[in-house]
Structure 1
Amino acid sequence: MKLLLRAHMRYLWQDRWQTLLAVFGVSVGVAVVLAVDLANAASREAMQVAQRQLDGVATHAIVGAGERIDELAYPRLRLRWRQGAPVFADVRAMAPVVTAETRIGLTPDSMTRPVQLLGIDPTADAGMRASVPGPGGGGGRLMSEPGTALLDAATARRLGVDLDADGDVQLWIQAAGRARPLRLVGTFSLGDAALGQGLLVTDIATAQEWLERVGWLSRIDLIRGDPVSQHAFGRMLERVFPGLVLRSPRRETEELEDGLRIQSLAERAADTRALAASFQLNLAALGLLALVVGLFLVHGTLGHAVLRRQRAFARLRAIGVRAGELRRMVLAEAAVIGVAGVLLGLLFGRWLASGLLALTAGTLENLYGQVTVAAFAPDPVPVIKAAGVGLFATVLAALPASARAAAVTPGLFATAGAPSASHRLRPLLLTGLLLLAGVALLPAAGYLGGLVAIAALLMATALLTPVWITAVLSGMTRLLGAAPLRFRLLLREAVRGLTRSGVAGAALVVAMATALGMGLMVDSFRSSVDRWLEARLAAPLHVQLSGEWTQLPGDLEAALTDTAAGHVVRVSWSDRIAGEPVRVSHIRRQGNVPADLGLALLAGRFADDGLAVSEPLARRLGLMPGSMLRLPVADGVRELTVTGVFREYGAGPGLILVPEATGVPVLSGQLAVEVHGLRADADADQIAAELVLAAPDGTRVRRNDELLAIARGVFERTFEVTGVLKSIAGAVAAFGLFAALTALGLERRAQYGILRTLGVDRALPAWLNLGEASLLAISAVLLALPLGVLVAIILIEVVNVRAFGWSLDWSFPPWLFLQALGIGLLAGWAAALAPALAVWRADPAVLLAEARVHA
């Protein structure tokens, strides 16, 4: 057994360049899988850290309309809890909270450090958040000294603050659009601070004053039952499977009086994670694509190695080696390749993850409002997963080759044209993959089903690729039967070489089809978003007030009346409906403005007597024109009719537009104004300057062309990471083709030596190599183009709709198809160039000597 193993390892060393290319394919795939998982784990951990910092051991929260509660409700609720009200029977603690995202700095001009402001009652909050000092520590000064705060130690160090040396330090906080001084009187430790935002803690009264929310709380935290989570297995599943968000079988929401309700903080956290889950799953799928393309290298290398050694295998069987031993030896070769590839991939993956983290963090912050991702989480799961997937997939790719080796008998060995077991199973595998794709496209499978369907179709096409290329080349042979000898020789050699190059061609088809499908999806997305943005930003100017408001300031209202024919005032606040995070916008129209407000309506109409909801929210809640929606308001719940559904490509909470005529009271929130019909005697910049003078401090007035440029920049950055992963998969496929053509060139050197001895020009072997690569690339492109369109159809009509709720308008730019053709030819020529040059430069005497050895 040891002698047999040494013989197999010696073969790997003799064919080491092919072995190294196979190792390279596995290592790149493992590296991409690891890098994507590390980036996803870092963003997920940052969200969980931010949640732990704010929630502590709280399990539930009492919330109201607009995510705020009248502070007078707190003593009433606390009294009911102390009196043993049934709804609070299992409540162990209750504490009021005021929260907001703010920025701090050492001076008013340097407020760039993002922190989460947390206003607490230190007497009630004791034990709720272990890291926050209670009234006996620094918390006592928060209650007795207005304008004071505590900051986590890590953020204090980043700001260069040393309380031990300097005593109390004055900082500045940007809250409600204004710079306000604060006095830092202490720090506290957050063990996970490097992974998330900083935390600034102050007394509730101080937080209300800074945020201009006097009289209002953000929520009231509760500890119900055992605060220790019992869902460790669920958390492990979410770490292993990116994009998976596990929820409780029932949505825990209990209605109280005055529009208040009790919600599970675990469910709120799951809602936040779900916003980015689809994005993370798409990245994971692209990472696995790079690994799958790399496995084609392993499959091709081992398959051809077995084919070349079948005479040797037959002799081994004749001297008593069992079939199982040959199978195990081929699998051992695969394991060696897998282990080497995994080790290199883990090293390369950690480096690649640094670049991906910056790209994914930017997307999550821009689109989903996630917290800043500052560091990698110390999580062994991505490393174990990448190593396990890499080893398992490598051995799995070697199974057909091991079965072929085991099928050799002492008196019979298969040749290149002999049907193998995998060939006989091909119809059954194709049927199974097509059935899997059909089942995965059923609505119940969700957006994950769409990705599974794409994977199944790509694998089915990969199985058909050698058959397709053979058919194309055979057809060309019949059409060119009277062609010159060199053309007929080229076609015959290309067909003969498919045992080596067919698998590489399949990898090229998969990579090109995926790139084309994603390119069509991205271009359709880009054109749809451009039209949507132009409609949404039709107003020449947009005014954004800082802080929170319920109505437009009088001076600004007068300035708008003087400078424009009409304007639309939006006051927006956050809330939750049926467990879904939403953004509610109260709409007031003044003067001459578009009847549809520039909305791209998909169904129904925008009417003053009902609500308009965004398409993603309508899909999640099952709404359509005529549906009734229960909208939380200050004094309870108002049931209103949905009159229209409009297109929306924002990735955050769903949007609800509430016209003023519905009578829904306005809650305090962010105020924005869309300015229509500017005065004819002034340009946009002049009117913007006038509006800034009339507006409160911190107001921003922007032209629509500036906002369009910013929005388009965010869109382009969103797809940078997918472009990187597509390029990696394409590069691995090109290396696979290079490996196949290099092996064919080495095997044909003996044949080329005989041809050169007979007087054939040295250019012919090189021309044969380049011509074969061109034929393979063209055949692959002809198959990849329709497959890429099919991938785009599933991405646009299934994955995007189910994952994000977006419907897209189709776009088929001709340049994408020409680009696919050009990339395919360039990949083929680049792969064939080195082998062609080697043959062209070789001495005929050397080639003839190799022919004698081969004979």
Structure 2
Amino acid sequence: MRLAPVFLGSLGRRRAATLLSFAAIVLGVALGMAVHAVNQAALAEFGRGLRTLAGAADLQVLGPRTGFDEALYAHLATRPEVAQASPVLEVWTERLGTTDRLHILGLDPFAAAAVTPALLARPARSADRAESESRRAVLAEDSLFLSAAAQTALAVRPGERLRVYAGSQPLELRVAGDMPGAAEDRQLAVMDIAAVQRHFAQFGRLTRIDLKLVEGLDVQTARAALAPLLPAGVWLEVPETAEGQAANLSRAYRVNLGLLAVMGLVTGAFLVFSAQALSVVRRHTELAFLRAIGLRRRQLFVWLLAEGALVGLLGGVVGVALGHGVAFALLELLGGDLGAGFFAGLSPTLSFDPWTSGLYILLGVGAGVAGAWLPAREASRIAPAQALKSGGDSALSPRRGHPRLGLALMIASLPLCTLPPFLGLPIGGYLAIFGLLVGSLLWLPLLASGLGRVLPLWGPVPVRLAVARLRAVPGMGAVAAAGVLAGVALVVAMAIMVNSLRDSVEVWLDQILSADLYLRAGRTQSGGVLDEALQRRLADVPGVAHIEFTRHDSLRLVPGRPPVALLARPVSPDGHELPLVGSAQAVAEGETAIWISEALHDLQGWRPGDRVRLPLSGSEVPVRVAGVWRDYARQTGSLMLDLTDYRRLTGDRSVQDAAIWLAPGTDAFSLAKALKAAAGSGALEVTAPGEIRAISLRIFDRTFAVTYVLEAAAVVIGLAGVAASFAALAAARRREFGLLRHLGLTRGQIGGLLALEGSLVAGVGILGGLAVGGAIAWILIQVVNRQSFHWSMDLSIPWRSLLVFAGTLAVLASLSAVLAGRQAMRQDAVLAVREDW
């Protein structure tokens, strides 16, 4: 430990480089910690809500969104495996005249008491109401019981009236009490199940049955006995399944943000590498002297690693603390889903996890050690006698990197891209990205040398000196350019990927939003529908040239997986209205055609031409896959069939949405008012396609807001890395500058020399970053996004933005180099070379 002041004290002597390395590691750790903390808080809150809904249920019977026949409840309740069964009808509605959503559970209070007691209603008591009358209020048709969170959100109290939509008609309910057992942040309402069926036109329908098994019977045995009794599309699930599905749904988004955090850590490791390599250059005489007086190679190697580890440790600790602060801010600004829409409506609470925090601190330490590894190894291999005689930056001058190892890593990235996802995650794609980044770092000296040999040795003296230096000392150029390459690669990769996705989404929106107006009966999940009479009235409104209706539902195809969205709308036999991927498959006359999304194609393995069976109305119906279409709105998969076929197979004539084409000369605003008036209740929403497009793109931009912040931080850190590198190099070259001053160069010429060197070094990093970033973008588009979210996109490179970015970065790097070398240029020329007299 006697050597600690010698080695660890050097971090304080080179404060700028140390602070930059520290800041990059803090950034990577903080982002990763914040994303993890927010997601864990959201999942914990989601899980608490699910446990409230499930109560003591061992199994749940789940079906499509529209529910299933309530006769199944009577059948299951009498089974010997079932001790208690509680029927549930879930509906979503909205407050009249607003977009405030309300989740209503229709329950049988007597059955729910034994299975889900936390959902029981508590009537509000008053001095003039007897206890028996309060209990009868639970079964009243107009009684509604709200959780504390719902009362706060809707600003209503027991005894007040609440007007909501029941389908497309207004419904006035009385808030008769509360739900003391509901989760604190869960916005729920409870009504008698018969009243919900009547008010919301769900006669004879249930959406869930909670089962409590007889004591001693295990779940698997009960499931094997009860599963054959269920109709098609209805499954038995353990209550924890929904929590796992929510975690899986958000996992890909969370892991991809975590990948950005890892790339931030890689940038930090590169900056540690730059700082340590330049530190070795500046201290080569000092390190050689320590070796000469008895310090072993291994000891020198370990102490230099300790310097990087200390920077990583401090960065990890501060990053974890900052990450929790960022997580709090993200929860306030974007919610528990970080703007992605997975946990809308939840109010998660952050908690400190010491094990996870410790892991992220170790990641910071690992980044510091990884960055210091190569400089420490190079320094430990330098012969003391040679280093004591040499000067300036000769300690690492002969090195040309490790191009063979770098090439091997980059070549190995190709087969990694072909690996299938592991646990739903594109592990092969992540490893390929890591291989490209590390391989490009090892290739940097060779790239710098090649660029130096391409540039001609002519022109003014500063130009020739700058080019000659890049040829002679490519290792130093590579060290200074490492942070630039990492930052540019990150920015370019994310810019190409986000631009490609955004352009693809815009084209997709243009294809699916071909009508002049769009109408819906409240939100898609609110339970609002358009009956046949209202459909006819809408079609007869003057100014409507053509109208097409859409029915939304969900299907459960596989147990344990989230339901798949079902859309029924008019579709032509060739599906030309859809954003198809590939060619359509002809379907024989008499067969029912369906069109599946890319997610369903990947998750189910269905292909165009396949004959599959769909669970519709309690029975399996044979259909033929006609084609695959792009759907950026539903990650779990969706399928579409013609509305006429849907009605023929299910008998359901209701719809939720309508696409409307205007007659020539019709004013869209006036027609929208007429359409709303046709319903007479204010339940309809009419929107222009431009508004839907703008809202969709705004949600898209909010989802990627975190990536924009990281890109900006990467650019700033890369520029600061150039400044720190040139500050260290300028200090190490003070005798060289003094000699140039003796030979007649002015301070302005030396400044120009530094500016040119900064531009050349930045050019090396920018060229490498553009190439590596483009390759990473291809992996993100073709591998990571496809395996994570199951959608494809068309490559769209923002050439103009990237060229402006590269040019601006080169100019800023020149300015950074000049500013960093000002101190060296101020030194007296005689003092700079006095050691050589």
TM over 0.5: yes
Aligned to 2:128: none
Shift of residue 460, structure 1, vs aligned partner: 0.9
Instruction: Confirm whether residue 119 of structure 1 aligns to residue 98 of structure 2.
Output: no
How far apart, CA to CA, are the structure 2 residues paired with 1:468 and 1:227? 70
What residue is the counterpart of 1:256 in the other structure?
229
Kindly report which structure 2 residues correspond to 1:418-817, keeping only aligned pairs within 5 A, or say none: 427-428=404-405, 430-432=407-409, 434-443=411-420, 447-476=426-455, 479-480=456-457, 482-495=458-471, 498-546=474-522, 548=527, 552-561=531-540, 563-578=543-558, 579-587=561-569, 596=575, 598-602=577-581, 603-604=583-584, 609-659=592-642, 660-661=644-645, 663-667=648-652, 671-676=656-661, 678-695=662-679, 697=681, 698-817=683-802
- Report the counterpart of residue 849 of structure 1 in structure 2: 831
The equivalent position to 1:334 in structure 2, one of 275, 290, 308, is: 308
Superimposed CA distance per residue, residues 201-234 of structure 1 (whole angstroms, 9 cap, x where no aligned partner): 333234434544233211102245899999xxxx
TM-score (norm 2): 0.87
| Alpha-carbon distance in structure 1 between the residues aligned to 2:836 and 2:167 | 82
Structure 1 residues 201 and 790, CA gap change in structure 2 (3 angstroms): same
Residue 387 of structure 1 corresponds to which residue in structure 2? 361
Q: Deviations over 1:100-126 (max 9, x none)?
A: 34456xxx56773x5533332232223
1:96 aligned to which of 87, 94, 104: 87
Residue 144 and residue 706 in structure 1: after superposition, are their counterparts in 2 closer, same or farther (change >3 A)? closer
C-alpha deviation, 1:51, in angstroms: 2.4
Give the AA of the match of 1:254: A
- 1:528 counterpart SS class: helix
Question: What is the aligned counterpart of 1:397 among 346, 371, 376?
Answer: 371
Shift of 1:284: 0.6
Letter in 2 for 1:97: V
Contact map agreement 1:556 1:691 (CA 8 A) in 2: no
Q: Distance in 2 between matches of 1:117 and 1:154?
A: 13
Distance in 1 (CA, whole Å) between partners of 2:475 and 2:214 is 65
- Which residues of 2 match residues 160-179 of structure 1 at below 5 A? 168-173=159-164, 176=167, 178=170
Q: Which residue of 2 aligns with 1:245?
A: none
Rounded Cα–Cα distance in structure 2 between residues aligned with 1:13 and 1:285: 31
Structure 2 Cα separation of the partners of residues 280 and 640 of structure 1: 36
Kindly provide the CA deviation profile for residues 483-519 of structure 1, in whole angstroms up to 9, marking residues without a partner as x: 3322221223345665444234122122212322222
Cα deviation digits, residues 401-453 of structure 1 (max 9, x gap): 33334435655659755679997866346424532552343235562322321
Matching residue of 2:130: none
How far, CA to CA, are the matches of 1:831 and 1:228 in structure 2?
72
Partner of 2:6: 7
Once the 2 structures are TM-superposed, how far is the Cα of residue 772 of structure 1 from its aligned partner?
0.8
Q: Which secondary structure does the structure 2 equivalent of 1:577 belong to?
A: coil
Secondary structure at 1:632 match in 2: strand
1:272 is the counterpart of 2:272: no
Give distance in 1, aligned partners of 2:476 and 2:218: 54
| Alpha-carbon shift at residue 810 of structure 1 (Å) | 2.5
Q: Compared with structure 1, are the counterparts of its residues 651 and 815 closer, same or farther at alpha carbon in structure 2 (3 Å cutoff)?
A: farther
- Give the alignment of 1:346-357 within 5 angstroms: 346-357=320-331
CA distance in 1, matches of 2:735, 2:35: 45
Which residue number in structure 2 is paired with residue 151 of structure 1? Answer: 146
Give how far 1:158 is off. Answer: 6.0
In the alignment, the residues of structure 2 paired with residue 225 and residue 785 of structure 1 have an alpha-carbon distance, to the nearest angstrom, of 64
CA distance in 2, matches of 1:689, 1:172: 22
Match of 1:27 in 2: 26
**Mapped partners of 1:486, 1:421: distance in 2:** 23
Letter in 2 for 1:645: V
State the secondary structure of the residue aligned to 1:566: strand
Supply the distance in 1 between the matched residues of 2:398 and 2:147 (Cα, whole angstroms).
64
How far apart, CA to CA, are the structure 1 residues paired with 2:529 and 2:459?
Answer: 82
Q: Deviations over 1:697-721 (max 9, x none)?
A: 2011222222222222222222222
1:604 alignment partner, SS class: coil
Aligned to 2:197: 208
Letter in 2 for 1:434: I
1:629 alignment partner, SS class? strand
Please report how far the alpha carbon of residue 524 of structure 1 lies from its aligned counterpart in structure 2 after TM superposition.
2.0
Matched, 1:218 2:207: yes
Distance 1:544 1:554, change over 3 A: same
The residue that corresponds to 2:188 in the other structure is 199
Q: 1:257 to 1:131 in 2, by over 3 A?
A: closer
Q: Is the 8 A contact 2:579 2:630 kept in 1?
A: yes
- Greater mean deviation of Cα atoms: 336-345 or 439-448: 439-448
TM-score, normalized by length of structure 1? 0.85
Query: Is the 1:501–1:741 contact (alpha carbons within 8 Å) kept by the matching residues of 2?
Result: no
Residue range with higher mean Cα deviation, 383-392 or 117-126 = 117-126
Larger mean Cα displacement after TM superposition, 562-571 or 461-470 = 562-571
Asked if 1:44 is matched to 2:43, the reply is yes
Compared CA separation, residues 609 and 497, structure 1 to 2 (3 A) = same
Hey, what's the Cα distance between the residues in 1 that align with 2:479 and 2:818? 19
| Contact 2:268–2:368 (8 Å) recurs in 1 | no
Segment drifting more, 449-458 vs 136-145: 136-145
Q: CA RMSD in A?
A: 3.6
* C-alpha contact 2:278 2:479 (8 A) present in aligned 1: no
SS of the residue corresponding to residue 554 of structure 2 reads: strand
Structure 1 pair 372/301, CA: closer, same or farther in 2 (3 Å)? same
Unaligned segments of structure 2, at least 5 residues: 126-133
Pick one of 795, 799, 818 that aligns with 2:803: 818
One-letter amino acid of the counterpart of residue 418, structure 2: L
Relative distance call for 1:569 and 1:175 in structure 2 (3 A) is: same
Deviations 1:292-349 (A, max 9, x none): 1011111222233234334333433343333333233223222322232223323332
> Does the 8 Å CA contact 1:545/1:671 hold for their aligned counterparts?
yes
Query: Judging changes above 3 Å, is the alpha-carbon distance between structure 1 residues 573 and 386 closer, same or farther for their aligned structure 2 residues?
Result: same
Unaligned runs of 5+ in 1: 231-249
Q: Secondary structure, in 3 states, of the residue corresponding to 1:180? A: strand
Does the 8 Å CA contact 1:153/1:187 hold for their aligned counterparts?
Answer: yes
Cα distance change of structure 1 residues 372 and 771 upon mapping to structure 2, 3 Å threshold:
same
Aligned to 1:321: 295
> What corresponds to 1:234 in structure 2?
none
Alpha-carbon displacement from aligned partner over 1:541-594 (angstroms, at most 9, x marks no partner): 2121246477643244144145434322111112211234211123358xxx99
The CA distance in 1 between the partners of 2:226 and 2:627, in whole Å, is 27
Q: Give 3-state SS (helix, strand or coil) of 1:809's partner.
A: coil
